[in-house]
Amino acid sequence: MSLPFKTALVTGGAGFIGHHLTHALVARGVKTRVIDDLSRGLAARLKDIASQIEFIEGSILDEAKLSRAVAGVDVIFHQGAWASVPQSVEMPIEYHEIDATGTLKVLEAARKAGVRKVVYAASSSAYGEQPELPKREDQLPSPISPYAVAKYVGELYLSVYAQLHGMETISLRYFNVFGPHQDPKSLYGAAIPAIVSRIVKGISPTLYGDGEQTRDFCYIDNVVDANLRAASTAGLKGQVINVACAQRTSVNDIVRLANAYLGTNVKPTYAPPRVGDVRDSFADISRAKALIGYEPKIFFEEGLGRWIEWYKTSEYMKG
Ligand SMILES: NC(=O)c1ccc[n+]([C@@H]2O[C@H](COP(=O)([O-])OP(=O)(O)OC[C@H]3O[C@@H](n4cnc5c(N)ncnc54)[C@H](O)[C@@H]3O)[C@@H](O)[C@H]2O)c1
């Protein structure tokens, strides 16, 4: 895909999603800057392209560093955040500061610097316990954790900046993203790394609840593609779109399919459900198709196989 912009900033570019996006931008010849305070990310993820990017180590809450980061860029991909639902229950003030106020600061710095376009990593957690399935963007958000509230507030600010300042903004509501280089030990506790890493090692994974809760797992390449398409779409006005595969997979399915791929029979261990976790999550992606031409290309089973192959050769396998 050839891109209609030359320079970009990725906030949280040393994170799981941010570093994949940064690599994709560099591969397409975009002059790319990253701001990341490394509170959750790893600089090593950008080592192979270190000479091709500008890396600012610092927080989006640091206005001096942020204004340096946004200067002269065509597009901001705002990925930087803290992203653990259970931790947000314990640290709601910090989550609000980084995820909500941090997003406002990014928008305000963008406005002052004359940046025209901001693409935001929003979260399907905004739907919360909204019972209707599949989740459609016109349903009323019903967040059930401080993390989900803070991410949702970010969307509202994106929309307000589009209305007030004519900034071209869009919120991509990611549904359970997974892929290589997602840290199995991270606080975020993403299901695929946490569960499948154990199955690969022959250890029983812990499933919270009865394992019948469902998610719409979205392989990282689809998410990168959605970001590039969003940034290439003209006339954005603060819209919200789901980014997912429109596929419903239970946590028990993950165990079954991983065992099938590996030819193993590792049994899970069941523990009580976690506070703030939603029961079912599954997306309607027709708005993303209509607005930015997004269509998922890698579906769950293929992504799972790719993740397992990456994991088997990764540093994490040794630990
Ligand atoms: N992974 C998912 O399934 C998923 C789902 C929905 C939404 N999201 C959103 O996508 C984004 C990226 O998620 P991820 O899975 O890559 O998480 P991640 O933790 O791997 O990456 C987040 C990055 O942001 C950085 N960061 C945190 N606070 C910062 C600050 N104050 N200043 C600068 N950098 C900061 C971290 O160091 C890290 O590198 C987040 O905004 C998250 O809310 C992720």
- What is the arithmetic mean of pLDDT over 50-68? 98
Cα 170 to the center of its chain, rounded Å:
14
Distance CA 309, CA 300 (A): 14
Residues 126 and 151 sit within 8 Å (Cβ to Cβ):
yes
Using 50, 70 and 90 to split pLDDT, how confident is the model at 318? confident
Give the pLDDT of residue 184.
76
pLDDT of residue 188: 61
Instruction: Please report the pLDDT score of residue 59 as a whole number.
Output: 98
Q: Is 216 in the pocket of ligand 1 (CB under 6 A)?
A: no
Dump pLDDT digits (tens) for 61-115: 999 999 999 999 999 999 999 999 889 999 999 999 999 999 999 999 999 999 9
Name the percent of the chain lying above pLDDT 70. 98
Report the chain's mean pLDDT, rounded to a whole number.
95
Contact indicator for 289, 296 with CB cutoff of 8 Å? no
pLDDT in tens, 22-42: 999 999 999 999 999 999 999
Q: Does residue 41 line the site of ligand 1, with CB under 6 A?
A: yes
Which residue, by CA, sits nearest to atom 32 of ligand 1?
A: 59
The one-character DSSP state at 100 is I
Q: How far apart are CA 12 and CA 2, in angstroms?
A: 24
CA 171 to chain centre: 11
Q: Is 120 in the pocket of ligand 1 (CB under 6 A)?
A: no
Q: Where are the domains of the chain?
A: 7-178+220-246+283-297
pLDDT, residue 174, reads 98
Q: Which atom of ligand 1 is nearest to the CA of 176?
A: 3
| pLDDT tens-digit readout, 143-177 | 999 999 999 999 999 999 999 999 999 999 999 99
Provide mean pLDDT across the span 257-267: 97
Annotated active-site positions, please? 147
Q: How much distance in Å is there from the Cα of 142 to the middle of ligand 1? A: 21
**pLDDT beyond 90 at 187:** no
Pairing relation of β-strands 117-123 and 75-78?
parallel
Probe target for ligand 1 pocket from 35, 88, 94, 177, with the most ligand atoms within 8 Å of CB: 177
pLDDT of residue 2: 82
Answer yes or no: are the C-beta atoms of 276 and 88 closer than 8 Å.
Answer: yes
Of ligand 1's listed atoms, the one at least distance from the Cα of 147 is 43
The confidence score (pLDDT) of residue 8 equals: 98
Q: What is the pLDDT of residues 1-26, one digit of tens each?
A: 789 999 999 999 999 999 999 999 99
Q: Which amino acid is located at 43 in the chain?
A: A
- Tell me what the mean pLDDT of segment 253-274 comes to: 96
Q: Is CATH 3.40.50.1000 what the domain over 7-178+220-246+283-297 is classified as, yes or no?
A: no
Return the higher-pLDDT residue of 8 and 192.
Answer: 8
Q: Confidence band (pLDDT; 50, 70, 90) for 46?
A: very high
Q: What was the pLDDT predicted at 235?
A: 96
Whole-number Å distance, alpha carbon 16 to ligand 1 midpoint, is 7
* Distance separating alpha carbons of residues 256 and 188, to the nearest angstrom: 23
